[in-house]
Structure 1
Amino acid sequence: MPEEYYDKQDWLQRQVDSNLMRIYRQPCESKLPDRMEQLLEKLREKEAARN
């Protein structure tokens, strides 16, 4: 785990985000679909409420 990620949960979330971007990356390097961004935001909100 890289040193700049002090919080394991933060590191894992960044890994998930990075992997999803890699999956959905298109030749034009467009962003994630809006629906996927919304789902990720809901997940982040639920995780933040748990902590």
Structure 2
Amino acid sequence: MIYVCADHVELALDVAVDEYETAPSLEEIQSENQLSTTCEYCDNRAIYIVGN
């Protein structure tokens, strides 16, 4: 699973497709689970989880 901010959603989707060769899922992180989760590509707060 890749935790990303809004700016890096497209990058994470591309990485997931390249890595798993299937359509990835995109889920919004619920506000109670956002305590200290940061984007894997920058230091912004993660808003989405990209995975399979």
**Structure number with larger C-alpha Rg:** 1
Mark yes or no: TM-score above 0.5: no
Structure number with the bigger relative contact order (C-alpha 8 A, sep ≥ 6) is: 2
Q: Which has the higher helix share?
A: 1
Give the TM-score of the pair, scaled to structure 2: 0.28
